[in-house]
Amino acid sequence: MYSSLKTAEITTLSTRLSYYSRSTPPHLIGGAWEVRVEKGAEAEVSQNQTFLVYTKCDKAVNAVVMLFRALAGSACTLIGAATVLKLAPVEVQAQAAALLHSAVRKSSLVEQANMRIELLPALSDNYMYLLIDTDSREAAIVDPVEPIKVVEAVRKHGVKLTTILTTHHHWDHASGNEKMVKLMPGLKVYGGDDRVDALTKKVSHSHNFKLGSLSVKCLFTPCHTTGHICYYVTKENSTEPPAVFTGDTLFVAGCGKFFEGTAEQMYKALIEILGRLPPETRVYCGHEYTVSNLKFARHVEPDNEVIQKKLAWAKEKCSNGEATIPSTLADEFTFNPFMRVKEKSVQDHVKQTDPIETMRSLRKEKDGFRVPKE
């Protein structure tokens, strides 16, 4: 009797878990630990084999151990994993569930005549983006936090990866840069902050460069971090929609926390910079936060039917492991409260009349908002 989990998949799980041990801040995972493959045939592994060896350090590790042993012990079914996960300590169930979720989220491909963009799920809710110029077959990767997955995608598409586009320095966006340049020497690493790992090209607002026949414009959007950059991608004389990679500045139906900035800066980023791009511009953000963001949007504007419909759609997509990305800037102005700070319905909710003060109040409320379970 054999499990359906291939050796390659075991290695992938082990790599992901090992990655967390190196890169996740201790307060998030609870201590250093490691995972390695001990046994496994080239084709399949026996269902009763213990093929993962764990170095136990704390309760967080116990939860992950239980989760992935369940994958092996229950013919690698997600139901078996979920069953055992219930036995994990309450304080770490969310972390272990996030690891499981990251293993089942699906990649997707957005194809246009001028560019192709593959959405590569990473970690628990991040996205990396492989941007391909269809004319030259030259490619860039946005925030490659899981380098092995990136290399596999590059090989699958048969493209030449030349560039890393880093939106900001946070570990869940930039910590894969060092490994990427080791795996694929000669990569140019763009970013707007000296804290970006392996940085070779520091950019500022309106800096332009080419990726094959595509034009990339850097948009300086400080607030979430002081050096945050969004990347706006177009092609001359194309009728196809442009793309903008917004990192943790703009999310579908939300925006990033003001870790290193102010409401004034986020207003400028969302309304005066991103908001002035063509309305058909497709938005590729850094995280899959759409459902929780829309629940907050519904709280702000309970009578907004666009939000209600978008939330139902997003729930369905997420339940199938599918991305809710991209959206468009035109769409964001219909359901994103942080893009709607000039709307009376949003201002009335926070009892403000000034858009910047509305932005400030919304972010404060969102930071303390408890997403309802449904």
User: Model confidence over 149-159: pLDDT tens digits?
Assistant: 999 999 999 99
Annotation says 197 is catalytic: no
Q: What's the CA gap between 323 and 343, in Å, rounded? A: 28
Residue at which a domain ends, from 104, 119, 146:
104
Please indicate, yes or no, whether residues 26 and 129 belong to a single structural domain of this protein. no
**Residue 103's pLDDT band (boundaries 50, 70, 90)?**
low
Catalytically annotated residue among 143, 169, 173, 197? 173
Annotation says 173 is catalytic: yes
Catalytically annotated residue among 224, 228, 331, 349? 224
**Across the chain, what does the average pLDDT equal?**
81
Please indicate, yes or no, whether residues 314 and 165 belong to a single structural domain of this protein. yes
Please indicate, yes or no, whether residues 24 and 43 belong to a single structural domain of this protein. yes
The answer on pLDDT for 48 being more than 80 is no
CA angle 183, 184, 189 (to 5 degrees): 110
Annotation says 172 is catalytic: yes
The answer on pLDDT for 364 being more than 60 is yes
Please indicate, yes or no, whether residues 203 and 276 belong to a single structural domain of this protein. yes
Please indicate, yes or no, whether residues 53 and 68 belong to a single structural domain of this protein. yes
The answer on pLDDT for 82 being more than 90 is no
Annotation says 248 is catalytic: yes
Please indicate, yes or no, whether residues 52 and 189 belong to a single structural domain of this protein. no
- Nearest C-alpha neighbor of 19 from the set 37, 2, 32: 32
Catalytically annotated residue among 133, 168, 228, 349? 168
Mean pLDDT for 37-44 is 29
Please indicate, yes or no, whether residues 64 and 136 belong to a single structural domain of this protein. no
- Residue 372 counted as domain residue: no
Mean pLDDT for 264-268 is 99
- Residue 373 counted as domain residue: no
Q: Which two tokens stand for residue 250?
A: 């703009």
208-211/243-247 β-pairing: unpaired
Annotation says 27 is catalytic: no
Contact call for residues 11 and 159 (beta carbons, < 8 A)? no
Q: Which residue has the higher pLDDT, 185 or 10?
A: 185
Q: What percent of the chain has pLDDT over 70?
A: 72
Mean pLDDT for 345-354 is 98
The answer on pLDDT for 16 being more than 70 is no
Annotation says 101 is catalytic: no
Inter-axis angle of helices 78-85 and 90-104, to 10 degrees?
A: 170
Please indicate, yes or no, whether residues 211 and 183 belong to a single structural domain of this protein. yes
Range of the domain at 93: 2-104
Q: Which two tokens stand for residue 315?
A: 């729930």
The CATH number for 213's domain is 3.60.15.10
Burial bucket for residue 183 (CB in 10 Å: 0-12, 13-18, 19+)? middle
Place of tokens 């459902």: 291
Please indicate, yes or no, whether residues 31 and 120 belong to a single structural domain of this protein. no
**33-37, 135-139, 192-196: range with lowest mean pLDDT:** 33-37
Q: What's the CA gap between 248 and 254, in Å, rounded? A: 10
Q: Which residues contact 224 (CB under 8 A, 6 or more apart)?
A: 168, 247, 248, 249, 256, 257, 258, 259, 260, 261
Q: What's the CA gap between 286 and 166, in Å, rounded? A: 11
- Residue 99 counted as domain residue: yes
Please indicate, yes or no, whether residues 331 and 216 belong to a single structural domain of this protein. yes
Residue at which a domain ends, from 61, 76, 104:
104
- Residue 10 counted as domain residue: yes
Give the model's pLDDT for residue 215. 99
**Cβ atoms < 10 Å from Cβ of 345:** 13
Residue at which a domain ends, from 48, 82, 104:
104
- H or E element that contains 44: strand 44-46
**44-58, 68-82, 228-242: range with lowest mean pLDDT:** 44-58
**Residue 267's pLDDT band (boundaries 50, 70, 90)?**
very high
Give the model's pLDDT for residue 19. 35
The full DSSP string for 300-328 is H-TT-HHHHHHHHHHHHHHHTT-----EE
Please indicate, yes or no, whether residues 72 and 146 belong to a single structural domain of this protein. no
**Residue 45's pLDDT band (boundaries 50, 70, 90)?**
very low
Give the model's pLDDT for residue 111. 97
- Residue 321 counted as domain residue: yes
Give the model's pLDDT for residue 232. 99
Contact call for residues 35 and 53 (beta carbons, < 8 A)? yes
**Residue 105's pLDDT band (boundaries 50, 70, 90)?**
confident
Half-sphere exposure of residue 127: CA atoms within 13 angstroms, side-chain side: 29
Catalytically annotated residue among 133, 143, 172, 193? 172
Please indicate, yes or no, whether residues 345 and 227 belong to a single structural domain of this protein. yes
The answer on pLDDT for 281 being more than 60 is yes
Q: Which residue has the higher pLDDT, 80 or 195?
A: 195
The number of domains in the chain is 2
- Residue 138 counted as domain residue: yes
**Residue 85's pLDDT band (boundaries 50, 70, 90)?**
very low
**pLDDT tens digit sequence for 208-262:** 999 999 999 999 999 999 999 999 999 999 999 999 999 999 999 999 999 999 9
- Residue 21 counted as domain residue: yes
**pLDDT tens digit sequence for 291-309:** 999 999 999 999 999 999 9
Q: What distances in angstroms separate CA 299 from CA 40, 46, 252, 354, 370, one per listed residue? A: 50, 50, 16, 20, 11
**Residue 163's pLDDT band (boundaries 50, 70, 90)?**
very high
Catalytically annotated residue among 169, 170, 228, 349? 170
- Residue 335 counted as domain residue: yes
Catalytically annotated residue among 143, 169, 228, 287? 287
**Residue 373's pLDDT band (boundaries 50, 70, 90)?**
confident
- Nearest C-alpha neighbor of 33 from the set 111, 115, 103, 95: 95
**10-24, 216-230, 345-359: range with lowest mean pLDDT:** 10-24
Q: Which residues contact 3 (CB under 8 A, 6 or more apart)?
A: 44, 45, 46, 47, 72, 75, 76
The most confident of 60-69, 122-131, 337-346, by mean pLDDT: 337-346
